[in-house]
A and B are shown apart, each in its own frame.
Chain A
Amino acid sequence: MSDSHAVAVVGHEEGHSEHPAYQRHHFVSMEQQNETVSFGMWLFLLTEIMFFGGLFTAYLIYRNWYFPAFVAASHTLNLWEGTINTFVLISSSFTMAMGVWCAETKRSKGLIWSLIGTLILGAVFLGIKYDEYHEKYELHHIPGEIFHFNSQGFVHPSAEALKTGEKPLAPDMAAKTEVYFSLYFAMTGMHALHMVIGMVLLSGMLWKASHGGYMNGHIAFVENFGLYWHFVDIVWIFLFPLLYLISRHA
């Protein structure tokens, strides 16, 4: 090898497939495959952050401009339901983490139950979200044609609210609550859509797990789905304070 430009040969000859069936042909080793897949997943989550980032930017700008309207409108959200949902979602992240652990340690039963738990908690979250949406619908807080704010307490707060010293909004500021609700629906809707996609994938995984899947050590899919699910959870961890909590009783 005196010539530094020489090239040696590594890897195996074609046709000699000693590697496991789930190793794709273009990877040299399982290790390389797993690293690659998980790197891809992180990158995908980065694109998701940018995707939600557009909405968060819009939210922060408008909140700055129409601060009183945003505060007033956020008071109409159901704090209880939001709080419960936060717990539900964190619990589902926990069950999902359990699932990944069970897959790693080859506990088939545990994996199946963890996935079922995650699925149920996801459904509970969406159910509560549905209830919140429904309430908004009945209050005419859905942006668009039916949106209506005058009678909804922004201009004339309820007697109870007045007692706590709440001031009515000027009508033009009250009208800006529609922007708040637009963003509320866009952001929580996009989040819910991610939940729905997640639940479809969860169901697929559950089906496979109940047929003995993921017990051979090849659990990249479970792991990466776990990342996705935690990500969706984290988005909510940002949405909840922004939409429900901050300046709630300013």
Chain B
Amino acid sequence: MSTIVSLPDQATARIPKRNYLTNENGLLSWLLTGDHKRIAVLYLISITFFFFIGGALAGMIRLELLTPQSDLMASDTYNKVFTMHGVIMVFLFLVPSVPATLGNFLIPIMIGAKDLAFPKINLLSWYLYLVGGGMTLTAMITGGVDTGWTFTTPMSTHFSNTNVITTGLAIFVAGFSSIFTGLNFIVTIHRMRAPGMTWFKLPLFCWAHYAASILMVLGTPVLAITLVLVVLERTIGIGVFDPTKGGDPILFQHLFWFYSHPAVYIMILPGMGVISEVISTFSRKRVFGYTAVAFSSVAIAVFGFFVWAHHMFIMGVSNYAVLVFSLLTMLVAVPSAIKIFNWAFTLYKGSITFETPMLYAFGFMGLFTIGGLTGVFLGSSGTDIHLTETYFIVAHFHFVMVGGMLMAFLSGVHFWWPKMTGRMYPEKISQLAAVVTFIGFNFTFFPQFLLGMLGMPRRYAAYPHEFQVLNVFSTAGASILGVGYLLPMIYLIWSLKYGEVAGNNPWQATGLEWQIQSPPLTENFTTIPIVTQDVYDYEWLERQKEHEVTHVG
């Protein structure tokens, strides 16, 4: 009889010869692969590429804002730069980042399956992502877009003479990539679980992805059709959003935010899944209130569909609607708070250690909480009317999305790096990078809350003199933040060759992914496991430490 748990195997000082990376060779074997792990790697590379383009554009924005005049670039260039920054970061980085890389890699393994339900569709998703990304870059190079990432009408349909059509279609295509990923995850989690892997033994990472996938599947098509209508309006002049023909530009906003508010949860939920895994592992405890955390993901997904109009308080929606949407918005905060509190309780009396993934997770909890709390200001229509379209908004969503999601992404990449590559990254410098990122982040975005409260509007290349000091802080912070992002890039690549061999389970974590070799075999499991162990059963793991342990397969 073999047990599924293998404790630290100092014995394996070598990376297994046969694994998913070495299984087949040649470029073609990668480009035509159906292996979810290889597709995850392909995504990781391409998403990182787009992240750095988006980041370079952020650098240009911050440089421009160093001085009150618009001197680095003219206003219309500035418009194009922040639009591209937003489009790339939202649609090509945030939306796919955790699901397409970590989700793709881990979900089948975590539930004891050999692959996602639809490997070919998974590969197709990646190609759609590339086509969408390629079209976006084309739009950028051949003249840019200046509508902002929200494509708001009538700017996008009538007044902008830039590449709205190419970009709109690019997002349409990338959207299908995300729909297919979500579809694949839902079906996989429903139908491919190993015997014994009941819903309440699913790692919270899977629950979070399940909820995010519901949003992808139900929300993204609405965005797709909305963009089609914009494109049709620009090309053949149908007038659905055109007030001169009786159409309504506000309708565009309803449809757009019906997707794009849930989209922020598409972005953040998978990140929350990562945090649950990391916190549990490094405090060596089962996540407090597992069921509550699991259901809160689903609750966020459901409520997420009913709050979109809080983006439209100043658009002339009725007072009654403002009231209702304010209230509903507050309600979404509840399941998010449940998560934060439960993580805090998990930490309480845990044996906490501060490995890099954990540092990023702490960063996530702090920054996401601030981002979330400031969301309450914006959800209350009274304060929103004062703060909207100022830098307060910019700070708020960067705290949630960059402080939240990006921290979670980095946490997850570090956490599962040993599994994906078989090697460890250098611990000291990675801890340093986490700290630098955290400091740089606060330096960059905290001043923007103040700027917003003082009334500096967003989306302008020039601003009154009195805002300069805070902007200088922000730009200085951005350069620290930039270093924080570059460091992992360098040492992670370095570790591919020189990193210490990780072994199967460097963190001594529970979870099926840690029971198989690193890097895994192409088929993940030589034999499909039967799961009898509870999820996050660290108490049991501790007890087993004294015992002899055997391996599976």
A interface list, Cβ under 8 A from B = 1, 3-11, 13-14, 24-26, 28, 32, 35-37, 39-40, 43-44, 46-48, 50-55, 57-58, 61-62, 66, 69, 143-145, 175-176, 178-179, 182-183, 185-186, 190
Chain B residues with a Cβ closer than 8 Å to the other chain, count: 55
Q: Which residues of A contact B4 (CB under 8 A)?
A: 5-7
Is A50 a contact partner of B114 (Cβ separation < 8 A)?
A: no
Is B532 a contact partner of A14 (Cβ separation < 8 A)?
A: no
Closest to B217 in A: A47
Is A26 a contact partner of B221 (Cβ separation < 8 A)?
A: no
Q: Which residues of A contact B52 (CB under 8 A)?
A: none
| B100 CB, min distance to chain A CBs, angstroms | 17
Q: Which residues of A contact B2 (CB under 8 A)?
A: 6-7, 9
Closest to B219 in A: A50
Q: Is B232 an interface residue (CB 8 A)?
A: yes
Q: Which residues of A contact B115 (CB under 8 A)?
A: 25-26
Is B532 a contact partner of A47 (Cβ separation < 8 A)?
A: no
Q: In the docked arrangement, what's the CA distance between A37 and B120, Å?
A: 12
B217, B527, B540, B552: the one within 8 Å of A43 (CB): B217
Q: Which residues of B contact A144 (CB under 8 A)?
A: 236-238
Q: Which residues of B contact A69 (CB under 8 A)?
A: 246
Beyond A51-B222, A179-B246, A186-B229, 15 additional pairs, beta carbon < 8 A: A5-B5, A6-B4, A7-B2, A7-B4, A9-B2, A9-B527, A14-B523, A26-B119, A26-B192, A39-B187, A40-B183, A43-B187, A47-B183, A54-B225, A144-B236
Is A58 a contact partner of B529 (Cβ separation < 8 A)?
A: no
Q: Contacts A11-B527, A175-B245 given: A185-B238 contact, CB under 8 Å? A: yes
Q: Is B218 an interface residue (CB 8 A)?
A: yes
Is A40 a contact partner of B530 (Cβ separation < 8 A)?
A: no
Is B238 a contact partner of A28 (Cβ separation < 8 A)?
A: no
Q: Which residues of A contact B219 (CB under 8 A)?
A: 50
Q: Which residues of B contact A8 (CB under 8 A)?
A: 1, 530
Q: Which residues of A contact B533 (CB under 8 A)?
A: 4-5, 7
Q: Which residues of A contact B529 (CB under 8 A)?
A: 7, 9
A-facing mask of B206-238, CB < 8 A → 1, else 0?
000000000001111110111011001000111
Q: Is B239 an interface residue (CB 8 A)?
A: yes
Q: Which residues of B contact A7 (CB under 8 A)?
A: 2-4, 529-533, 552
Q: Contacts A39-B190, A43-B183, A183-B240 given: A54-B222 contact, CB under 8 Å? A: yes
Q: Which residues of B contact A35 (CB under 8 A)?
A: 191
Is B240 a contact partner of A186 (Cβ separation < 8 A)?
A: yes
Q: Is B134 an interface residue (CB 8 A)?
A: no
Q: Is B12 an interface residue (CB 8 A)?
A: no
Q: In the docked arrangement, what's the CA distance between A212 and B538, Å?
A: 56
| B213 CB, min distance to chain A CBs, angstroms | 9
| B182 CB, min distance to chain A CBs, angstroms | 9
| B539 CB, min distance to chain A CBs, angstroms | 12
Is A40 a contact partner of B187 (Cβ separation < 8 A)?
A: yes
8 Å CB interface, B1-43 against A: 1-5
Q: In the docked arrangement, what's the CA distance between A123 and B527, Å?
A: 50
Q: Is B95 an interface residue (CB 8 A)?
A: no
Q: In the docked arrangement, what's the CA distance between A100 and B4, Å?
A: 44
| B317 CB, min distance to chain A CBs, angstroms | 13
| B523 CB, min distance to chain A CBs, angstroms | 7
Is A179 a contact partner of B240 (Cβ separation < 8 A)?
A: yes
Is A26 a contact partner of B218 (Cβ separation < 8 A)?
A: no
Closest to A36 in B: B191
Q: Is B94 an interface residue (CB 8 A)?
A: no
| B82 CB, min distance to chain A CBs, angstroms | 27
- Which of A7, A176, A179: most chain B CB closer than 10 A? A7
8 Å CB interface, B162-184 against A: 179, 183-184
Q: Is B338 an interface residue (CB 8 A)?
A: no
- Which of B219, B226, B236: most chain A CB closer than 10 A? B236
Q: Is B454 an interface residue (CB 8 A)?
A: no
Q: In the docked arrangement, what's the CA distance between A3 and B3, Å?
A: 9
Q: Is B118 an interface residue (CB 8 A)?
A: yes
Q: Is B382 an interface residue (CB 8 A)?
A: no
Q: In the docked arrangement, what's the CA distance between A5 and B232, Å?
A: 59
| A185 CB, min distance to chain B CBs, angstroms | 7
Q: In the docked arrangement, what's the CA distance between A7 and B5, Å?
A: 9
Q: 16 interchain pairs (CB within 8 A)?
A: A5-B4, A5-B5, A5-B532, A7-B530, A8-B1, A26-B119, A28-B528, A40-B187, A43-B183, A46-B218, A51-B225, A53-B221, A66-B246, A183-B240, A186-B238, A186-B240
Considering the complex of A and B, which 8 residue pairs feature the smallest CB-CB distances, nearest first? A144-B237, A51-B221, A182-B238, A26-B115, A26-B114, A54-B225, A176-B246, A50-B221
Is A50 a contact partner of B222 (Cβ separation < 8 A)?
A: yes
Is A145 a contact partner of B532 (Cβ separation < 8 A)?
A: no
Q: In the docked arrangement, what's the CA distance between A40 and B116, Å?
A: 12
Q: Which residues of B contact A183 (CB under 8 A)?
A: 240
Q: In the docked arrangement, what's the CA distance between A7 and B531, Å?
A: 6
Q: Which residues of B contact A58 (CB under 8 A)?
A: 229, 240, 251, 255
| B405 CB, min distance to chain A CBs, angstroms | 24
Closest to A184 in B: B238
Q: In the docked arrangement, what's the CA distance between A58 and B239, Å?
A: 12
Q: Which residues of A contact B191 (CB under 8 A)?
A: 32, 35-36, 39
Q: Which residues of A contact B540 (CB under 8 A)?
A: 5
Is A51 a contact partner of B527 (Cβ separation < 8 A)?
A: no
Q: Which residues of A contact B225 (CB under 8 A)?
A: 51-52, 54-55, 190
Q: In the docked arrangement, what's the CA distance between A9 and B183, Å?
A: 29
Q: Is B84 an interface residue (CB 8 A)?
A: no
Q: In the docked arrangement, what's the CA distance between A5 and B512, Å?
A: 13
Q: Is B291 an interface residue (CB 8 A)?
A: no
Q: In the docked arrangement, what's the CA distance between A125 and B537, Å?
A: 60
- Which of A9, A13, A47, A66: most chain B CB closer than 10 A? A47
Q: In the docked arrangement, what's the CA distance between A51 and B221, Å?
A: 5
Q: Is B481 an interface residue (CB 8 A)?
A: no
Is A6 a contact partner of B532 (Cβ separation < 8 A)?
A: yes
Is B221 a contact partner of A14 (Cβ separation < 8 A)?
A: no
| B387 CB, min distance to chain A CBs, angstroms | 29
Q: In the docked arrangement, what's the CA distance between A53 and B530, Å?
A: 42
| A131 CB, min distance to chain B CBs, angstroms | 20
Q: Contacts A39-B191, A182-B239 given: A4-B217 contact, CB under 8 Å? A: no
A-facing mask of B230-264, CB < 8 A → 1, else 0?
00100011111000011110010001000000000
B3, B239, B530: the one within 8 Å of A178 (CB): B239
Is A186 a contact partner of B246 (Cβ separation < 8 A)?
A: no
Q: Is B92 an interface residue (CB 8 A)?
A: no
Q: Contacts A14-B523, A39-B191, A40-B187 given: A47-B220 contact, CB under 8 Å? A: yes
